[in-house]
Each structure stands twice: as structure tokens, then as C-alpha cells.
A and B are shown apart, each in its own frame.
Chain A
Amino acid sequence: MKRGLALFFFVGPFLWMALTSLWPEAQLTRPLPEALTLASYAGLGGSFARAVANSLLVAALTTAVCLAAGSAAAFAIARLPVPGKGGLLAFALAVSMFPPIATVSPLYLVLRTLGLRDSLPGLVLPYTTFALPLTLWLMTSFFRALPDELYRAARVDGCTPWQAYLRVFLPLSAPALATSAILVFIFSWNELLYALALISTPERRTIPVAIVLFAGEHAEPWGQIAAASMVATLPLAALVLLFQRRIVAGLTAGAVKG
């Protein structure tokens, strides 16, 4: 009963969206459709496929940058005597709480100067402000949970600190890297404000921007909007179903440890 209520509120709207996406556009004025059709999906066309590709590219690039920089820094913080390392994590946490609106104006001007404003790689930079702290926290708590002796063993076995990172700790951290990658991917896939502010060429829009700026000739094409929303949601639904445990663990890692 309680579960039914929760499912109705949290999942019901999705089902309605799914139904709308299959609803013939001409019949949207009726309470229910008489037949279902894939016409809305077919009507999405190349520009939306373009947006999907753009989102994939930006999310993948952001994930790659954050995992590379984040895991290295996390290893250093967890295992090496980096000066002032306690403050570094707090600093990263604080940065992740910055409202994006506070950085958008200077970033706009800087990226414009660099010729990166209206470009997908240019989006990766602002995306690291929230994705990198997340990776840092997750990876640091993972590396800290490993026994201290593992690092000492690697050193006595002849590794330099770099080798200990690359040959022992990095391969070991595959599960935490996967969790970070999933979360960073989801956040980048969903981001709207920077993408809206920095991207102006329609061909470079990411999915959220495309969905927001979806416009028809006269009225809003709700069938197509629903279809596009379904396409944007399905990869995430798959991630959530497959990696529910990992996502929950990743999201709450900081919370449990305080």
C-alpha cells in the first residue's frame, strides 16, 4: 500500500510521459489515445540525434578528466604527506556547493577569449566544478579504507610513489572508479545552466538544452517532447537499474562517514 503510493507518485509521471510519447499528435486533445504510434520518435530527426551525440561526448570527456585528475589527487590525499591535505578536501566540498550562476559570467568571458565558448570541450571545464569534488571524495574515502600496509608493501617491493599509484592502487580502485564514473556521467548528462549559457549554435546543443528549447511551428509539440524526454531518460534508467547499489553507495559515501 505504502509502496504503491510511492510508486504512483514517483514513477507514475514517467508512465504518463511514456504514454504521451506514443500518443498520436492529433489526438492529444482527447483524454486517452485510440491507437499508439512511434511517429513522435520518428519525427525527432537528426538534430536530436545530434544532441544525444553531443551529450555523450561532453559526459564522456568530463568523466575522463575527472577520473584522471580526481583519482590521482585522492591517492595523494589518502596516502601521501601532501602539505595541508585536510583543507584540500574541505575546499573541494566548498567548491561543489558554489552556485553555478556565480561563475557563469567570468567563465563566459574567459571561454569566449579562448575561442571555446560555443564548443563542447569548453563545457567540460565548468562541469569539473561539481564533478571533480565528487570524484575526489569518493576516491579518497575508498583509498583511505584500504589498509595502510598495502602502500608500505608496494614501497618495500620497490615501487616509487608513482608506481604504487599506477600499478597497485589504480587497478585496485576499479570499483570506486566505476561508481564515480556513473555519477559524474549522470551529472554531466543532466546539466542545463552552463550548456544553456555557453552554447548558442543549435548543432552543439546537449540533450537538456534541446529539450528546453524544443519548439514547434505553432503549439508546443508535446508528443515529440515526450519522445525526446524518453530518449534522454532511458540510458539513465538503465544505469539506475543496473547499478542501483553502486549509485546509492556513492551518493551516501560522504554522508555515512560524516
Chain B
Amino acid sequence: MTREAKAGVALAAPAFVLLAGVAVAPVLAAVWLSLHRSILVFHEHRFVGLANFQFLLSDARFRAALGTTAYFTAVAVCVEILIGLPLALLLQRSSGVFRAAMLLPWAVPTAVSARLWAWLFNPQYGLLHRLLPAVDWLGSPRVALHAAILVDVWKTTPFVALLLLAGLQSIPEDVVKAARIDGARPARIFWSITLPLLKPALLLALLFRSLDAFRVFDAIYVLTEGGPGNSTETLSIYAYKTLLRAGDFGYGSTLAVATFLCVACIGLLFGRALRERT
């Protein structure tokens, strides 16, 4: 190996050893744990093969959590892109102060944003409750999940808008100028020029946000802890409760591995679409 390559390996090693140690090894360990019955408080730990996965397939609560997570992801990401696109167009023509203001929801801890909205939703004194007394925001199973989606939309639409803004800014001005000289009106320019050229950025936003929304934990945990009656329980929350509330590291890891596989599938699917487009 040349001196150059030796130095390169030495410089790169700490970062990648760290990543392998804190991410890859734990995922593999989680797979191993998922093959065990392992309950901390009972000091029980024995190999059970695929029994946990067998249980997983018949576990109605898992199916419900998977459905909830998928619904949450699909609706939240669609709404975020639908709002994020006009917001990006707005940001393109706006000053730095406005951009900074829009960035604020992205920057605050999700715990804070969830608490903030929980206060707005508060069934006694919350502002939204006062404005719309008929809606039981967090108490009704059907509404609660949508309330959580609203919080997620509020928190992450600015990020989507930023990604799309970067895409907008990479469209050469001359192309838009040419279209104007060719006589296209603004709406026509948007549909025929801007939107097609924005496709890579849209796909990227879709990928990032889907992966992120699918592992949602903070917002829902703070808002409802998965309630009422497990109606807002996502995979991450179900796994978290099983692991750390029930102390069941075996089945909890099984749920965690299932979540990981779902996220990996989304990543591979979108990743492939992205590579084909660009």
C-alpha cells in the first residue's frame, strides 16, 4: 500500500469503526436478540429460534401498528410535499429573515413541538379546543392520528420546502427565460418546465421524509403515548414499549428488526427510483 493509501485508511478508520460499532453491530445484535426469549427483570435469556417472528405474524397489535405507521407516513409525506412545494416557491422570492422564520419549526426539538401542540389541543383550555369545541383532538381514536400528522406536517414541511428550494435553484435561469421568450405563461412554465426539472428534488424529499416518518416516535409518544387505546401506536412506539416498559428484549428486538426491514425496503425502493431518474 502506498503512503497515501496508508494515511487514508488511518484517517478514515475512526469514523467508520465508530459507525460500524454503534450502528451495524447493534442491528446485527438486534437480529440475534430477536431469536431469543429475553426478559431483563426475570433474568431470562434463552434461544427460541424464529418463535418471536412466528408470533409477530399472528400479532394483531403489530399489524395495527404497521397500518398506523404506513397511514401516518403516506398522509404526512403527501401533505408535506403538497404544502412544501408552494412554500419553496415562496421562499425563492423571500428574504433571509422570512427563511429563518420558516426554519424555526424544523429547528426546535420534536418534544417541544409536540408539547406545544398538545397545549393547543388541550381538551379544557387549549386554543384549538376553544376555537373548535366540537373536536376532541387527542381523545378520539380517529382524530388523534390526524392531530399527530398535523404536528409532523408543521414540524417538517419547512425541511421539505428547503430541499425543493435547492432543486428550484439548480434549475438554470436561462431555461426559464427561454420559455418566457417562447411565450409560455407562468402556470405553463411551472407545469412544463419547473415541475419536470424538479423531479429529482421531489423524489429526494419523498425518500428522506418517508424514511423519517416511518420511524416516527417523538411526536406521537409525547402527544398520546400511542393512545387512545393504541389507536396512534406506531411500530417504533410499540417496540419501545415492549423493550423498555415491559422489558421484553426478545420480542421488542423482533419488532425493532421488523421496523428496520420496512425502512430498508422503502430506502431501496425509492433509492432505485431516484437512481433511474437522475
A interface vs B, CB < 8 Å? 2-3, 6-7, 9-11, 13-14, 16-17, 20, 28-29, 31, 65, 68-70, 72-73, 75-77, 80-83, 85, 88, 91-92, 94-95, 97-110, 125-126, 128-129, 132-133, 136, 160-162, 165, 186, 189-190, 192-193, 196-197, 207-209, 211-212, 214, 222, 225-226, 229, 232-233, 236-237, 239-241, 244-245, 247-248, 251-252, 255-256, 258
CB distance from B145 to the nearest CB of A (A): 19
- Bound-state Cα–Cα, A73 to B8, Å: 8
B7 touches A161 (CB 8 A): yes
Contact pattern, B 82-113, Cβ under 8 Å of A = 1, otherwise 0:
00001100100010111111111101111110
> 14 new A-B pairs (CB below 8 Å) besides A13-B117, A103-B256, A108-B243?
A17-B116, A73-B12, A80-B5, A104-B243, A104-B256, A105-B249, A128-B22, A161-B7, A197-B243, A197-B244, A211-B109, A233-B112, A248-B165, A248-B166
Give chain A residues whose Cβ lies under 8 Å from the Cβ of B24: 95
B94 touches A3 (CB 8 A): yes
Q: List 6 A-B contacts (CB under 8 A).
A: A6-B87, A10-B102, A76-B12, A208-B111, A212-B221, A214-B115
B222 close to A (CB within 8 Å):
yes
Give chain B residues whose Cβ lies under 8 Å from the Cβ of A101: 215, 217, 235-236, 239-240, 255-256, 259
B3 close to A (CB within 8 Å):
yes
- Bound-state Cα–Cα, A85 to B99, Å: 36
- How many A-B contacts are there with CB distance less than 8 Å? 286
Which of A88, A128, A189 is close to B109, meaning CB atoms less than 8 Å apart?
A189
Q: Which residue of B lies closest to A129 (CB)?
A: B23
Q: Which residue of A lies closest to B34 (CB)?
A: A105
A229 touches B112 (CB 8 A): yes
User: Which residues of chain B from 2 to 52 have a CB within 8 Å of any chain A CB?
Assistant: 2-5, 7-9, 11-16, 18-19, 21-27, 29-30, 33
Q: Which residue of B lies closest to A66 (CB)?
A: B15
A6 touches B90 (CB 8 A): yes
Which of B12, B108, B169, B235 is close to A88, meaning CB atoms less than 8 Å apart?
B12
Give chain B residues whose Cβ lies under 8 Å from the Cβ of A9: 154
CB distance from A199 to the nearest CB of B (A): 11
Which of A13, A28, A80, A208 is close to B8, meaning CB atoms less than 8 Å apart?
A80
B74 close to A (CB within 8 Å):
no
Give chain A residues whose Cβ lies under 8 Å from the Cβ of B16: 73, 88, 91-92
Q: Which residue of B lies closest to A133 (CB)?
A: B19
A105 touching B204 in the complex, CB below 8 Å, given contacts A73-B11, A88-B12: no
CB distance from B43 to the nearest CB of A (A): 13
CB distance from B85 to the nearest CB of A (A): 13
CB distance from B21 to the nearest CB of A (A): 8
B136 close to A (CB within 8 Å):
no
User: Which residues of chain B from 211 to 268 have a CB within 8 Å of any chain A CB?
Assistant: 211, 214-215, 217-218, 221-222, 235-236, 239-240, 243-244, 249, 252-253, 255-257, 259-260, 263, 267
B interface vs A, CB < 8 Å? 2-5, 7-9, 11-16, 18-19, 21-27, 29-30, 33, 86-87, 90, 94, 96-105, 107-112, 115-117, 119-120, 122, 124-125, 127, 130, 154, 157-159, 162-163, 165-167, 169-170, 200-201, 204, 211, 214-215, 217-218, 221-222, 235-236, 239-240, 243-244, 249, 252-253, 255-257, 259-260, 263, 267, 278
Give chain B residues whose Cβ lies under 8 Å from the Cβ of A107: 22, 26
A252 touches B163 (CB 8 A): yes
- Bound-state Cα–Cα, A169 to B63, Å: 52
A105 touches B253 (CB 8 A): yes
- Bound-state Cα–Cα, A100 to B18, Å: 16
Q: Which residue of B lies closest to A198 (CB)?
A: B244
A92 touching B115 in the complex, CB below 8 Å, given contacts A80-B7, A240-B100, A252-B162: no
A20 touches B96 (CB 8 A): no
A190 touches B109 (CB 8 A): yes
A10 touching B105 in the complex, CB below 8 Å, given contacts A222-B119, A252-B165: yes
B99 touches A244 (CB 8 A): yes
Give chain A residues whose Cβ lies under 8 Å from the Cβ of B18: 65, 69, 125, 128, 132
Give chain B residues whose Cβ lies under 8 Å from the Cβ of A109: 29, 33, 249
B90 touches A72 (CB 8 A): no
Q: Which residue of B lies closest to A162 (CB)?
A: B7
CB distance from B162 to the nearest CB of A (A): 6
CB distance from B77 to the nearest CB of A (A): 15
Which of A75, A77, A83, A103 is close to B26, meaning CB atoms less than 8 Å apart?
A103
A160 touching B7 in the complex, CB below 8 Å, given contacts A13-B116, A247-B103: yes
Which of B8, B26, B27, B154 is close to A10, meaning CB atoms less than 8 Å apart?
B154
Q: Which residue of B lies closest to A210 (CB)?
A: B111
